[in-house]
Structure 1
Amino acid sequence: RDQVGSFVPAHPITGREVSGVEHAEADLYSGRQVILTPTERTLTAQLQDAEKIWTALGCRVTSMSPESHDAAFAAVSHLPHLLAFAMMNSITGQTHGDDFLSLAGPGFRDFTRIAASDPKVWRDILLSNRDELISQSKLFQQALRNIEQAMEKGNAQALEDMLTLASETRAHWRMGAKRK
């Protein structure tokens, strides 16, 4: 008998860069967002049950199509992981990379924390969502080029405007909340 309709795909928006029972946290899901991504074959009763279970665990539950999920998470999860891995590789590939790493502080630690994630898991994620991720990577590259061009031209105002937009957006960003 076909049981596909009983399956409710879910993505808890939480986690750590380490895995295994030795790193378990009792409150890992508390107050976190969970994205349900039902397919056309997901049964309504199972979807409702899944929502009740996640809510009982203390999660805020949202539903979206699998395609919308993949597009969004290419931007806010997969690309940051890709960048963190690339950042580490760009430094370790340099002649004095080890010396540079010895000087790195909290900002570098925070930016690259997710590069310590399981490479096999992230290999599979990056490949399975590669089309959306490559699109997001191209958008990132254009934003980086814009900043580089302002620097090359010595255009302080354009550079400040781009940095201000990013800084203000990040300062007002709250996990799980939409911008007003």
Structure 2
Amino acid sequence: MADSYRIGIIGVGLIGGSIARAARLQGVATEIIGFDSCSKNLLEALRLGVVDRIAESASAAAEQADLVVIAVPVGVTQTLFESLKPIWSDQVLYTDAGSTKLDVLAAARRCFGRVPENFVPGHPVAGAESSGVGAASDSLFVNKRVILTPHPDNDDAAVKKISAFWSALGGRVSLMDAAHHDAVLAATSHLPHVLAFALVHLLGCKDDQQEIFQYAAGGFRDFTRIASSDPRMWADICLANRDFILPLIEDLSRELREVSEIIKLDDNPEHLLHYFSDARKARQRFLDQLIT
């Protein structure tokens, strides 16, 4: 059974807003205080009842809470830690929802000289192509992976409490080393977003783009859906995790050259069929894991 908290949410967008809605629904929030750098989005959160009240700054939201959830683009984490440092309390639990973890830990060390024992890094592997508090849902995390990346200085009780909190929101909590998290997510999430953005950028620059998009079918829509995601957030993620993403882009470039050579030089359809069949089987293994 998870404890109930006065929750301060810094960044009341899709993820922060969904955390607020889910926490309220599941009875783990006695009060929700929100702050967002976008005043329009913050006022919308109040109007929609996503938060109970709003704070004038990130530090004000955190100072009034006993659980602080940081749900901002990872590129501003360092600045945010600096603003929270004067009011950081050993009596408060802190977690985040960033898609990269090594850079978050590094930002904490630069700010505090170490990673505070009551800060438990986390990443809910959930989202949507829509952004903003208007897209928030109280079921966003149900049966979705939530990865916590505890560090050696973490207090065990803090890790257990944050794990119980995410479980109460419906998440399937796993613990993982931060570097391993960033490597895995680079392959399964960050690279696919780069591909979607790159394909749409390629086609959007062509002279006949209007006709291309006019006749695009469901496959194009499904493959490029994630290119509708928040560009600022994904720019931050890709730059933060470039050490893992760039080698994967090189691997993909080699893979594209291989299939290009098969199409260009090989007249035997069985070779291309074998290539596609291997990929189809690999995807089926992924789908089987989802079922189990």
**Inter-partner Cα distance in structure 2 for 1:105 and 1:29:** 30
**Inter-partner Cα distance in structure 2 for 1:26 and 1:64:** 25
Residues 33 and 176 in structure 1, CA contact (< 8 A), matched pair in contact too: no
**Inter-partner Cα distance in structure 2 for 1:150 and 1:30:** 43
Question: In the alignment, what sits opposite 1:169?
Answer: 282
Distance 1:83 1:137, change over 3 A: same
**Inter-partner Cα distance in structure 2 for 1:67 and 1:152:** 39
**Aligned residue identity for 2:282:** T
Q: What does residue range 57-72 of structure 1 map to in structure 2 within 5 Å? A: 57-72=169-184
Residues 9 and 36 in structure 1, CA contact (< 8 A), matched pair in contact too: yes
- Per-residue deviation, residues 58-109 of structure 1 (Å, max 9, x unmatched): 2111111110011011101100000001001100111111210111011100
Using the TM superposition, name which of 168-177 and 58-67 deviates more. 168-177
**Inter-partner Cα distance in structure 1 for 2:290 and 2:136:** 27
Question: In the alignment, what sits opposite 2:236?
Answer: 124
Normalising to structure 1: TM-score of the pair? 0.92
- Per-residue deviation, residues 122-170 of structure 1 (Å, max 9, x unmatched): 1100000011000111111111111111111124222111100111121
Question: In the alignment, what sits opposite 1:24?
Answer: 136
Distance 1:83 1:23, change over 3 A: same
- RMSD over aligned CA atoms reads 1.9
**Aligned residue identity for 2:286:** W
Q: Select the structure that is richer in strand.
A: 2
Residues 144 and 171 in structure 2, CA contact (< 8 A), matched pair in contact too: yes
**Aligned residue identity for 2:176:** M
**Aligned residue identity for 2:231:** P
1:157 pairs with 2:259: no
Residues 34 and 62 in structure 1, CA contact (< 8 A), matched pair in contact too: yes
Higher relative contact order, chain-length normalized (CA < 8 Å, sep 6+): 1
Q: 1:42 aligns with which of 149, 154, 167?
A: 154
Q: Which structure has the bigger radius of gyration? A: 2
Q: Select the structure that is richer in helix.
A: 1
Count of residue pairs the alignment pairs up: 179
Normalising to structure 2: TM-score of the pair? 0.58
Question: In the alignment, what sits opposite 1:95?
Answer: 207
**Inter-partner Cα distance in structure 2 for 1:55 and 1:169:** 30
Question: In the alignment, what sits opposite 2:28?
Answer: none
Q: Which ranges of structure 1 fall in alignment gaps of 5 or more residues?
A: none
**Aligned residue identity for 1:40:** P
Distance 1:2 1:21, change over 3 A: closer
Question: In the alignment, what sits opposite 1:144?
Answer: 256
Q: 1:10 aligns with which of 113, 117, 122?
A: 122
Structure 1 runs of 4+ aligned residues shifted over 4 Å read 175-179
**Inter-partner Cα distance in structure 1 for 2:258 and 2:271:** 9
- Per-residue deviation, residues 17-51 of structure 1 (Å, max 9, x unmatched): 11122112221111111011112222211111111
Q: Which ranges of structure 2 fall in alignment gaps of 5 or more residues?
A: 1-87, 91-115
Distance 1:135 1:125, change over 3 A: same
